[in-house]
Amino acid sequence: MIKEIKFTEKAIKQIDQLLSKKDKGSFFRIAIKGGGCSGFQYDFSFDQKQNDDDLKHLNILIDKTSADLLKGSEIDYVEELIGNSFKINNPQSKSSCGCGVSFAL
């Protein structure tokens, strides 16, 4: 169970909509990976299986290491003129790049 990460209603609705187009039993995976211009970047993908180190909330999976780096975060889905996207407000992030895709801890 993912306790210390908040998902907005818009984010949950968008995840459900995306998963409705995938095979039954699919999960929405959120992860933090190395890379980007600031050192880390958020990764959103689909997965068919839950790993031993995954934490689960509804149909969302986050590996334990990523969940620790996301502790205290709010995950939202926003619609802007430049496009629609998931936005993560992560209080552990010390800085982010101009495009908002990568961040530093």
For 51-83, write each residue's pLDDT tens digit.
Answer: 999 999 999 999 999 999 999 999 999 998 888
* Stated pTM of the model: 0.84
C-alpha span between 24 and 17 (Å, rounded) = 13
Residue found under tokens 């600031």: 38
Give pLDDT tens digits for 12-29: 999 999 999 999 999 999
Total domain count, the chain:
1
Q: Which residues span the domain enclosing 35?
A: 6-100
**Which residues are paired to 30 by β-bridges?**
44, 62
The predicted pLDDT at position 1 comes to 56
**105 domain residue, yes or no:** no
The SS3 of residue 24 is coil
The answer to whether residue 1 sits within a structural domain is no
**CATH classification of the domain holding 20:** 2.60.300.12
Evaluate if residue 93 carries a pLDDT over 90: no
The 3-class secondary structure across 18-64, one letter per residue, is: HHCCCCCCCEEEEEEEECCCCCEEEEEEEECCCCCCEEEECCEEEEH
